[in-house]
């Protein structure tokens, strides 16, 4: 049985290949998450009671676009490093999958309680990813802190929405 190389040289030698591998998962998560979210905003989400600190709807798209761009750049930097990065990439992709799952559960299933059950492990995996990125590339780890801050705020918002609508 053939095993994967520890450090795929094509990712280090070609920035274009690394860029594709950095951008495609983020774009896929963003598009799929938007597909679950956007149809629910004018109906279900608009009808929910929300806390006074709930941001206006227009703020979410630019914030998420910025955060996804920072995530893609962070993982691009990780992909370009010669160190063993398998665990860091696994952690990163697990948190990205949880990010998508949150949109599908909270918005797609109209479930604030389900959203809480997904966003808490997401928070934990973002921390794990930051810790896994740090020894490989300090800047890549630092790029994820705004994401952690936003998801922390989203956790408070999610819990508040659940509380107000239970």
Contact 116, 162 (CB under 8 A): yes
d(CA 12, CA 76): 10
Neighbours of 80 (CB within 10 A): 19
Task: Please report, for the chain, the start and end positions of each structural domain, with discontinuous segments joined by +.
Answer: 13-48+63-164
Reading the chain (166 residues) residue by residue, the pLDDT tens digits are 555 444 455 556 689 999 999 999 999 999 999 999 999 999 999 999 999 999 999 999 999 999 999 999 999 999 999 999 999 999 999 999 999 999 999 999 999 999 999 999 999 999 999 999 999 999 999 999 999 999 999 999 999 999 999 9
The whole-number pLDDT of residue 5 equals: 45
DSSP string, 74-103: HHHHHHT-SS--HHHHHHHHHHHHHHHHHH
The whole-number pLDDT of residue 4 equals: 46
Neighbours of 116 (CB within 10 A): 18
The whole-number pLDDT of residue 67 equals: 98
Q: Which CATH architecture has domain 13-48+63-164?
A: Up-down Bundle (1.20)
């Amino acid at each position: 049985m053939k095993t994967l190389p520890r450090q795929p040289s094509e990712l280090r030698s070609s920035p274009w290949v690394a860029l594709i591998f950095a951008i495609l998962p983020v774009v896929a998560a963003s598009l799929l998450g938007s597909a679950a979210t956007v149809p629910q905003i004018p109906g279900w989400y608009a009808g929910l009671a929300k806390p006074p600190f709930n941001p206006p709807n227009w703020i979410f798209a630019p914030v998420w676009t910025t955060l996804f761009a920072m995530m893609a750049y962070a993982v691009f930097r990780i992909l370009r490093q010669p160190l063993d990065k398998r665990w860091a990439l696994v952690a990163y992709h697990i948190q990205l999958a949880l990010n998508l799952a949150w949109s599908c559960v909270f918005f797609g299933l109209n479930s604030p309680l389900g959203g809480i059950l997904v966003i808490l492990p997401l928070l934990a995996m973002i921390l794990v990813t930051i810790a896994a990125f740090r020894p490989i590339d300090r800047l890549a780890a630092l790029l994820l802190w705004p994401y952690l801050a936003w998801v922390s705020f989203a956790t408070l918002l999610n819990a508040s929405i659940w509380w107000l609508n239970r």
